[in-house]
Structure 1
Amino acid sequence: MSPSTVDSPTEGAPMRAIILSGSGRYADPWHPYPDTTERLAAIVGEAGFDVEVREDVDAALATLGDDVRLLVVNAGDPDSPLPEGVDAAASDGATVDDTALAAAVDRGIGILAVHSAASSLRDHPTFHRALGGRWEDDVSWHPPFGEARVHLIGNHPIREGLEDFTLEDERYTGLRLHDVIEPIAEHEEGGFRYPLVWAREFGRSRLVYDALGHDTRSYDSAEHRVLLARALDWLSHVPAPTGGWTGVSPA
């Protein structure tokens, strides 16, 4: 797909974004969600969106409004251990309801899922279908946190003109694909290449998954912020034009 095939957002339409930040049962001991959400909120705001951060993840999804153009998922596995001092009963307490998210995907919404979102929202089948790949216990893994080389690939408009870069981060490896993706970036581990950033179109909706973003050091990378800005621009053009495209199918 070339940039010329992308619809422009409706003139004067609000650019409203909701960021789901890991809290309650979506928190874990490894990811500083308040800090990374703060960085993401700044990046999303710089992209022209009106940003609302929600820590009551299930309640936010159950009441997702028709005016939300972008959903950002920065949350963890609801089945993971909780951080020290967090009561398991002190989750958001909302009943899981996938109806509003399903309606949003039907009408056309942009979804940016970052890092541990690959293991999040397990009770929301619409998110699972939209994501295209998952962290699977005993299959997926990551090398130790450290220097990560990001290899840009393909000809998606998000990566157009961008070059490979290095940052301090955690590289998710062996994510299990369950649908077609269009790879934007990969990393190399043990002589093999693994998808790191990908895009998807389904109906009138668009998704970008970015496996980077373990902590704020990831967002200290100017190149990573540019990549996210490009992704947010592409995601803002919803409802997307319908039509086929070629991606990578799961093995």
Structure 2
Amino acid sequence: MAPSPAPAAARHGLLLGGVGRYTDPWHPFADTNRALRGVAREAGVALEQAADVDAALASLAAGALPELVVVNLGQPGDGGPVPGGAPAAAGLARLLGSTVPVLAVHSSATCFPDDAVWESGLGGTWVRGTTMHPPYGRAHVLVTDAGHPVTAGLDAFDLDDERYTHLRHDPGVRVLLAHEHEGRRHPLLWVHTRSGGGRTVYDALGHDGRSYACGAHRGVLRRALASLLG
């Protein structure tokens, strides 16, 4: 009998997950960081979580870059600069100007407020005083583009989550998932090609562990990782 083939080697990525100053009172980052690492494992990706987000960003300013970066951050409320100082800002700019793929989720649209580099790299942003979400609860997610590998063959699905509404986004992003609120459709997941040629997937879902317990949502994230990594 021929020997079984060896399992494929895992791809590796960096998780910039909510820790330290990049947490907030509303999001259970320990749970969602754990859930993202689990989804990544299912997709054959080993994520190493940074213990200090600003130090990790600063380390990206020079040297080798990761294969993938996953971002799950909150907006710091300590009044300090975001990103935290010139080295961190330089690292973020280098990352977003590179071809390294980025997956960003949920409150990451708020983590670097008023930072044009981050908004350009993400493809959009949370706008204070405009963006909001209805109360947490059952959300109906619509597939708005079934022609992309992330959503091909996917039906609309329901999950418990927040529905970010009135996000500002670049008109060139490719919106794959959306929800309806007050008669309008609002994007929940998009694919964005950055100016340097790298790709970003932003998923506005993912408030807590219940969101990641939804099989359809996990499947979308696995496909997004596979698409980003080619």
TM range, smaller chain:
0.7 to 0.9
CA distance in 2, matches of 1:38, 1:135: 24
1:197 to 2:189 alignment:
yes
SS at match of 2:33: helix
- Number of aligned positions between the proteins: 218
Normalising by structure 1, what TM-score?
A: 0.79
Alignment partner, residue 125 of structure 2: 134
CA distance in 2, matches of 1:91, 1:19: 21
Moved more, 38-47 or 88-97: 88-97
Cα deviation for residue 180 of structure 1 reads 2.1
CA distance in 2, matches of 1:89, 1:122: 12
Cα distance change, pair 19–91 in 1 and its aligned pair in 2 (3 A): farther
CA distance in 2, matches of 1:102, 1:93: 10
Q: Percent same amino acid among aligned pairs?
A: 42
- Alignment check: 8 A CA contact 1:16 1:67 kept: no
SS at match of 1:68: coil
CA distance in 2, matches of 1:92, 1:150: 32
1:103 to 2:101 alignment:
no
Alignment partner, residue 181 of structure 1: 173
Letter in 2 for 1:187: H
- Alignment check: 8 A CA contact 2:130 2:166 kept: yes
CA distance in 2, matches of 1:107, 1:89: 29
Cα distance change, pair 90–133 in 1 and its aligned pair in 2 (3 A): closer
Cα deviation for residue 101 of structure 1 reads 3.2
Cα distance change, pair 180–108 in 1 and its aligned pair in 2 (3 A): same
- Structure 2 residue ranges without an equivalent (≥5): 1-7
1:181-237 deviation digits (Å, cap 9, x = unpaired): 100000011111100100011233110000000000000100000000010011113
1:228 to 2:221 alignment:
yes
Moved more, 186-195 or 175-184: 175-184
Alignment partner, residue 108 of structure 2: 117
Normalising by structure 2, what TM-score?
A: 0.86
- Structure 1 residue ranges without an equivalent (≥5): 1-11, 81-87, 238-251
Cα distance change, pair 141–123 in 1 and its aligned pair in 2 (3 A): closer
